[in-house]
Structure 1
Amino acid sequence: MLVRSVFFAAVFSLLGACTADSHQNNDAAVIAAAKAGYDAFAAGDMEAWAQTQAPDSQWGMPKGFPYGGDYVGPQQVIDEVFTPIGELWPDFKVEPTAFHAAGNVVFIETKMTAGGVTSDSIHKAVIENGKYAAFQVYDDAGFMMAHSTAGASIGKQYFGDGSSKPLMAGSSANAQLWVDYIQAHNERDFDKIAAMNAEDFKGVTPGGEVVRGSEAHADFLQNWVATENPQWAVWWVIPNDGENEEGGVEEWLATGNVVTSTGPDGTERKAYETIDVLIEGGKIRLLNVASQTMPE
């Protein structure tokens, strides 16, 4: 009897050890699959990230985010979750700090950096056949949205491929730069205008004429002054900053101005000009001018 008991105890012990080894191997496999998704996201490799997801993977995002809701498949997640995340928090990153597996479910402890601050969060992944079958996020929406660009964003800029990035409120110093620039025009201070222009200055007139460099700019203005004696009045200026397609931050002004000119016959004419102004290093780099005659 004693021998039989010892035999069964040894068998059960061996089975338990085998089961434990099996669980450990399974845990390692599902954790590796979960980690692969985070690694691809951190690298910005959306193609590799999509390969970590099942074609019909189910994603759940918390209420309180603009993208809160349920999503199916990696492409919908990229388009409707990751894209707005990049707009709301240009510095966004998620760092997994611990993985805890229970069967095919993995709980991930993370540190989220968004809007210059870091918060803790828990994510839950369901792994099937080595891919994400489901993913649920438990991020602190209120905390993260309080540090998003949503409050500071004043619009969007669009690119040729249809993508967009947020425009942020720019520096008030740039608005003053424009006021000073226009004052120099009214005072016919062409040296000051040249000093405020960037070395590679370019201006595009309403008629499509391209003026390159401060010397050509001065010639253009002097001819205009000699024939029509224009005077400018600034109506509004909106400084705005935004990332270009390469990720570099550009400083722009959108501005509306009224130009009063007098023709050779003495007739006064008013035109409303809207101008896009690119500023680089505190200098005027580009002027894109549109104009329409104001009705009397």
Structure 2
Amino acid sequence: MRAFLQFSICSLIFSVQAYSESDLEVVEQSYANFLAGNAEGWAILHTDDFVWTILGDLPHSGQRVGTQAVIDEVMGLFPQHWPDLVIETIKTYQVDDVVFVHARMMAQGMDTESLHMFKMRDGKIAAFTAFDDTDALRASMVQ
């Protein structure tokens, strides 16, 4: 019985770690595809009812529903306004089905930090909310 209990606990720990790594990998791939402008690769990582929320008052701010809305209305704005944008992960945290990414955002005239929140469902991103430094983004934005 004791051996079975130890095996069950180890299996549970492995299952939780595998689940977490999978979600974290999806989020990492989402960043890579978005920054590379790979709309198709980015879209397949999200649910059909995906909700994108950017706070503030910038060209990409607001809420969009569905990956196509983000591709059509947002994806092209980043290379237009921040052509050399780099996002580096400082630390990633997962709590249940939510992944938080503490990130460093850099572009010409900008070096700031941000917090991004990803709600996961069935191995895909169901929602994204960015808590960005909108003053730094606005000041570095190419017009």
TM-score (norm. length: structure 1):
0.44
CA contact (8 A) 1:105 1:127 kept: yes
CA contact (8 A) 1:33 1:127 kept: no
% identity of equivalent residues = 29
Deviations 1:54-84 (A, max 9, x none): 2221111012323321111112112222222
CA contact (8 A) 2:92 2:101 kept: yes
The separation in 2 between residues aligned to 1:142 and 1:99, in whole angstroms, is 24
The separation in 2 between residues aligned to 1:23 and 1:134, in whole angstroms, is 21
Q: Tell me the number of residue pairs that the alignment of Structure 1 and Structure 2 aligns.
A: 143
The answer to which structure has the higher helix fraction is 2
Do structure 1's residue 80 and structure 2's residue 73 form an aligned pair?
Answer: yes
Partner of 2:57: 64
Q: Residue 33 of structure 1: SS of its match in structure 2?
A: helix
Do structure 1's residue 122 and structure 2's residue 115 form an aligned pair?
Answer: yes
| Alignment-mate amino acid for residue 47 of structure 1 | E
Higher relative contact order (CA 8 A, sep 6+): 2
Partner of 2:104: 111
Partner of 1:244: none
Which of the numbers 5, 8, 13 marks the counterpart of 1:15? 8
**Per-residue deviation, 1:13:** 4.0
| Alignment-mate amino acid for residue 36 of structure 1 | Q
Partner of 2:40: 47
CA contact (8 A) 1:29 1:130 kept: yes
Q: Residue 63 of structure 1: SS of its match in structure 2?
A: coil
TM-score (norm. length: structure 2):
0.86
Which of the numbers 90, 97, 100 marks the counterpart of 1:97? 90
- Consecutive unaligned residues in structure 1, runs of 5 or more: 1-6, 154-296
CA contact (8 A) 2:109 2:139 kept: no
Do structure 1's residue 145 and structure 2's residue 138 form an aligned pair?
Answer: yes
CA contact (8 A) 1:26 1:103 kept: no
| Alignment-mate amino acid for residue 136 of structure 1 | T
The separation in 1 between residues aligned to 2:109 and 2:45, in whole angstroms, is 28
- Consecutive unaligned residues in structure 2, runs of 5 or more: none
**Per-residue deviation, 1:12:** 4.4
CA contact (8 A) 1:126 1:134 kept: yes
CA contact (8 A) 2:110 2:136 kept: no
The separation in 1 between residues aligned to 2:41 and 2:76, in whole angstroms, is 16
**Per-residue deviation, 1:121:** 1.1
Higher mean displacement: 101-110 or 25-34: 101-110
The separation in 1 between residues aligned to 2:67 and 2:141, in whole angstroms, is 24
Do structure 1's residue 37 and structure 2's residue 37 form an aligned pair?
Answer: no
| Alignment-mate amino acid for residue 68 of structure 1 | S
CA contact (8 A) 1:91 1:116 kept: no
The separation in 1 between residues aligned to 2:108 and 2:17, in whole angstroms, is 38
The separation in 2 between residues aligned to 1:117 and 1:142, in whole angstroms, is 10
